[in-house]
Amino acid sequence: MPSAVLFSKISRHFGAVRAIDDLDLEIAPGEFFAMLGPSGSGKTTCLRLIAGFEQPTSGHLEIFGETMEGVPPYRRNVNTVFQDYALFPHMNIAENVAYGLMIRGVGKAERLRAAGEALEMVQLPGYGARRPGQLSGGQRQRVALARALVNKPKVLLLDEPLGALDLKLREQMQEELKVLQRTLDITFVFVTHDQGEALSMADRVAVFSDGKIMQVGTPQDIYQKPRSRFVADFVGSSNVLPPDFVETLTGLSLWASLRPEAITITDQGGYEAQAISQSYLGGSTRLGLSLNGLRLNAVVPAGKPVPESGETVRIDWDRNALHLMEAS
Amino acid sequence: MVASSSSVPDGAAMSGGSPAERPAILPGRGGFFGAFSDRVWRSQGFLLLLLLAPPVLWLGIIYLGSLFALLLQSFFSIDEFTGLIQYHFTLSTYGELFRPTNLDIIVRTVLMASSVTLASAILAFPVAYFAARYARGKWKALFYIGVMLPLWSSYLVKVYAWKLILAKEGILTWLFAKLHLTWLLDGWLSLPIIGGYSLSVSYTGTFLVFLYVWLPFMILPIQAALERVPGSYLEASSDLGAQPWQTFRHILFPLALPGIAAGSIFTFSLTLGDYIIPQIVGSSRLFIGQAVYTQQGTAGNIPLAAAFAVVPIIIMGFYLWMAKRMGAFNAL
Amino acid sequence: MRSDRNTRAPVSLKIAAAGGLLFMHLPILLIFAYAFTTEEKSYQWPLPGLTLKWFAVTWNRPDVWQALGLSVRVAIVSTLIAVVLGTLCAGAISRSKFFGRETISLLVILPIALPGIITGIALRSAFNLADIPYSFWTIVLGHATFCVVVVYNNAVARFRRTSGSLVEASMDLGADAFQTFRHVILPNIATALLAGGMLAFALSFDEVIVTTFTAGQQSTLPIWMLEELVRPHQRPVTNVVALVVVMVTVLPILGAYYLTRDGDQIAGHGK
């Protein structure tokens, strides 16, 4: 079976700006795939290339084995949930959801029935007669989702789908999106700058920086085995250790990452460090440390004593937790 | 209008049709519309060209072409004996502009335009400020319509209304008499330059009508500029100890200045080019607009008319350049 | 400028603002009164008496009807041309950023930014040089040129409020360029176009400065009025015509206001 989405050597340049540079990527059918990166890293351009709003400057794009060269967005069996939802303000909710079917010539009764079903699926039954302006942000997003899914796309694209929602709603939608994706068995590709969102929802994550993919892998891979300083920095609050320090530990002059929760406070052995700051996080406390001038973050679980600022403590970590990075 | 429905099997929404069976590319609708749409998608420039061609051609040929024709005519001259236009290049027509009588016309017009601009800025500010800061809901709408209606309603009717008002037997004379202020009116009319036999044949009358007709053009941009000033700025200023007039001088006025500059583009330009108001209300001394009109009409001296018409263009060009430096265009 | 509702305007400001508004409206109201005067020869105030007879006299004047008819026809045709050109231009300007964009918006604004007399005499000298005889169409040519900007301004404002992703959403859902225009773009800008068209109509119906240069022997209603102003034949008829002109222009202005007033609610959601 062909890949759901295949980028081979794709570049997209805007004048002198290389939004995407010589990019290779494969997304498997039925996968929940996240594109993670800071703004301007090229992830949104990637999404727009799949949708067809942008065309590659060079390279080759396939969707389910079919080349997308010269295929405009309206002929791609791919639908998008826009960041601002882009609900048509002059249509009611049912007409919005039925829009794609209307364009394809599905009869009125039939398409309104389908729109009703889709609205039920996103838990907005009976909202058909309302206007987009009468809905909350979360509801509008569900409508946007129904409007895309009613067309049964081969690939669903989501552009920062949860960006505009508040925390509680965001967590709820994350769950729902995962369940929807499993039951519908549609390939989901979503773009986000929120690493927590990417890690918790996706089967696989691609980390973008400056138009290139820094690393692709499962959330566990990305989190525990970052391949470069950028990934270690961007995904979570990892401690990044410089090569000269790592050399004293391992004999290898390489950058390494160390997760805060791997650092423990011990009575003896390990290293001497100074406590600098404490941030109470509820379930735990984040402790800022200075190890001969090297800043480190550690996590002190609830119930354990938290050292005061200025106090000297001994810290240690499991040698296996130290992850050496191939790239700088 | 719509494509074949074959792409959606039996229209069933979420049931049926396993993902693998559906194609990744949907059939297009083909034909001219399909081909055209594909072309538009393939290149942004194509659509842009299609959209821009008609208006740019229209304005380019008809409007810019005409302006060019005007400019061309200003470099011709008229034979003083035969009265025929001589179609070869000369600057002598521009030289005529510097004759004392013609120079008078230009100075007179620029002075009038400046005083009208200044007065309308002073008159417009409180209206714009009230509308921007205090008017809410129904009042806001009322103020908006209250400015829009006079702005858009008939120019000629407005001028006509003032002919009625300023007439010797008209309402203003009557009003002054009722208030026992006739002496004031007579005193004003006996002043040199700005006075005259009656208001309707004096510079004062001309000035009032200009002010009246162009005032709304000043209010709207000032209001737009003031709308962008958060109320908290004024509160901050008075919190920091500024008296109201200090707040006006240091906060409100500088922030309203781009709006005033934008409005003044209208009041200045419109006054420079008008020939009807001074013809109907005012003394017999000419303004630029009238000079253009009479030169091309009764005098038949189209080159001189054209050269006269270039004067406001140059003045406005300079004015726009200044206004742009003050950021007036953002307030339009 | 937002502030809390409790702040009250100083009395002096209220008086000044009210004075400004009165200054703008009282003179027009005076026209209404004069349409009923019994005085024929002068602009005497107070009105010596009131009568309705001038309405009947005006009704029976063929020259007034002729001028009115010409004005309406010119305004309709000019408005249609302006709506098409203005919309195209607004679409291009707001869809993309391209080199020369500023120049084109300046080109659109120029015909009303420069004094009308310049537009007028420029057109006249062009007609002269090109040997084009004055006709209905020479008037329309001038009017359409300066009406474009009104439609353009309204359309640009609406395009700006309409989220760009609506067009992409429509294409994403399978609609090609024409379907997107018909189902998404047009419904979203329709009221703005109607408003722009109404204002263009009012502008054209009322225009006199450019028209005097492009009309030849024909009289539009403003030209008819101008002649009466310069050389009054029958003042009361002019008074009635002035009243009618005010009424004819006020309606499209109010209409345009009500159409664009809800603009934010209609078009602001995509954001």
Residue B45 and residue B113 in one domain: no
Name all domains of chain A by residue range, CATH numbers in brackets: 5-231 (3.40.50.300), 237-324 (2.40.50.140)
B44 touches chain A (CB under 8 A): no
For range B237-254, the mean pLDDT: 87
Residue C132 resides in a domain: yes
Classify A325 as helix, strand or coil: coil
Residue B6 resides in a domain: no
pLDDT 10s digits, A233-292:
888 778 888 888 888 888 888 889 888 888 988 888 788 899 999 988 888 899 999 988
**Residue at a domain's end among B36, B60, B84:** B60
For range B99-116, the mean pLDDT: 92
Residue C14 resides in a domain: no
For range C77-99, the mean pLDDT: 89
pLDDT interval class at C256 (50, 70, 90): confident
| Confidence at residue C183, expressed as pLDDT on a 0 to 100 scale | 94
Set of chain A residues whose Cβ sits within 8 Å of the Cβ of B4:
105
| Confidence at residue B20, expressed as pLDDT on a 0 to 100 scale | 55
In total, the C-beta contacts within 8 angstroms joining chain B to chain C are 288
Q: CATH no. for residue C136?
A: 1.10.3720.10
pLDDT interval class at B332 (50, 70, 90): low
Amino acid identity for residue A69 in this structure = E
Given a contact as 3+ CB pairs under 8 Å, which chains touch B?
A: A, C
| Confidence at residue A207, expressed as pLDDT on a 0 to 100 scale | 95
| Confidence at residue C6, expressed as pLDDT on a 0 to 100 scale | 47
Q: Nearest-5° angle of CA C122, CA C128, CA C131?
A: 135
| Cα separation values, B183 from B180, B190, C7, Å | 8, 10, 43
Phi, psi (degrees; rounded to nearest 5) at A153:
-70, 160
Residue B125 and residue B222 in one domain: yes
Residue B193 and residue B283 in one domain: yes
CB within 8 Å: A74 and C163:
no
* pLDDT value at C42 more than 90: no
- The whole domain housing C126 covers 61-260
Q: Among B238-247, C73-82, C189-198, C231-240, which range has the highest average pLDDT?
A: C73-82
- The whole domain housing B40 covers 28-60
Top residue of A68, A84, A140, A191 to mutate, by most chain C CBs within 10 Å, is A84
For range A131-152, the mean pLDDT: 93
pLDDT interval class at B10 (50, 70, 90): very low
Mean pLDDT of chain B: 84
* pLDDT value at A187 more than 90: yes
B13 touches chain A (CB under 8 A): yes
For range C256-265, the mean pLDDT: 65
Of C171, C172, C187, the CB nearest to A90: C187
| Confidence at residue B111, expressed as pLDDT on a 0 to 100 scale | 94
> Which chain B residue's Cα is nearest to A183?
B14
* pLDDT value at C2 more than 50: no
Residue B172 and residue B241 in one domain: yes
Q: Chain B neighbours among A 41-80 (CB < 8 Å)?
A: 52, 55, 63-66, 68, 70-78
Phi, psi (degrees; rounded to nearest 5) at B190:
-85, -5
Set of chain A residues whose Cβ sits within 8 Å of the Cβ of B19:
29-30, 152, 154, 185-186
B8 touches chain A (CB under 8 A): yes
C1 touches chain B (CB under 8 A): yes
Residue B168 and residue B235 in one domain: yes
Residue B167 and residue B269 in one domain: yes
Distance (Å) from the C-alpha of residue B138 to the closest C-alpha of chain A?
A: 23
Cα distance between residue C224 and residue C221, in whole Å: 5
Q: Chain B neighbours among C 197-256 (CB < 8 Å)?
A: 199, 202-203, 206-209, 212, 222, 225-226, 229-230, 238, 242, 245-246, 249-250, 253-254
Cα distance between residue A135 and residue A42, in whole Å: 31
Q: What percent of chain C has pLDDT over 90?
A: 28
pLDDT interval class at B16 (50, 70, 90): very low
Q: Give the strand order in the sheet containing A17-27.
A: A17-27, A5-14, A58-63, A66-67
Contact C200, C79 (CB under 8 A): yes
Residue C80, strand partner residues: none
pLDDT 10s digits, B159-201:
989 988 888 888 888 888 888 888 888 888 888 878 788 888 8
The number of domains in chain C is 1
Residue B152 and residue B259 in one domain: yes
Contact A321, A250 (CB under 8 A): no
Top residue of B66, B155, B287, B294 to mutate, by most chain C CBs within 10 Å, is B66
Residue C174 resides in a domain: yes
* pLDDT value at A59 more than 90: yes
Residue B102 resides in a domain: yes
Residue B106 and residue B56 in one domain: no
Residue C138 resides in a domain: yes
Of B26, B136, B162, the CB nearest to C5: B136
Residue B119 resides in a domain: yes
| Confidence at residue B8, expressed as pLDDT on a 0 to 100 scale | 39
Residue B40 and residue B133 in one domain: no
Alpha helices (H) in chain A, listed in sequence order: 43-51, 93-103, 108-121, 137-149, 167-184, 195-201, 219-224, 229-234, 243-250
Of C1, C128, C207, the CB nearest to B227: C1
* pLDDT value at C96 more than 80: no
* DSSP state string for C97-149: --TTHHHHHHHHHHHHHS-HHHHHHHHHHHHHHHTPPP-HHHHHHHHHHHHHH
* pLDDT value at A41 more than 70: yes
* pLDDT value at B257 more than 60: yes
* pLDDT value at B256 more than 80: yes
CB within 8 Å: B24 and A76:
yes
Burial class (CB in 10 A: 0-12, 13-18, 19+), A130: middle
pLDDT interval class at C78 (50, 70, 90): very high
Residue B247 resides in a domain: yes
Cα distance between residue B94 and residue B92, in whole Å: 5
Residue B313 resides in a domain: yes
Angle A137-149/A93-103 helices, nearest 10 degrees?
A: 20
Cα distance between residue C64 and residue A235, in whole Å: 79
Q: Among A294-308, B103-117, C251-265, which range has the highest average pLDDT?
A: B103-117
Q: How many CA atoms lie within 13 A of C160 on its CB side?
A: 8
> Which chain B residue's Cα is nearest to A79?
B24
* pLDDT value at B275 more than 70: yes
pLDDT 10s digits, C149-200:
989 988 988 888 887 789 999 999 999 989 999 999 999 999 889 988 988 9
Residue B55 and residue B198 in one domain: no
The number of domains in chain B is 2
* pLDDT value at B6 more than 50: no
Cα distance between residue A217 and residue C99, in whole Å: 43
| Confidence at residue B327, expressed as pLDDT on a 0 to 100 scale | 65
Q: How many CB atoms lie within 10 A of CB B249?
A: 12
Classify A274 as helix, strand or coil: strand
Residue B56 and residue B102 in one domain: no
Going through chain A in order, the beta strands assigned E by DSSP cover 5-14, 17-27, 32-36, 58-63, 66-67, 78-81, 155-159, 187-192, 204-209, 212-217, 239-241, 256-258, 263-266, 271-280, 284-291, 294-301, 312-317, 323-324
Residue B43 and residue B190 in one domain: no
CB within 8 Å: C129 and B69:
yes
For range A176-191, the mean pLDDT: 92
Per mean pLDDT, which range of B216-220, C55-59, C98-102 is the poorest? C98-102
| Confidence at residue C3, expressed as pLDDT on a 0 to 100 scale | 46
* pTM, entire model: 0.82
Residue C51 resides in a domain: no
For range B207-217, the mean pLDDT: 93
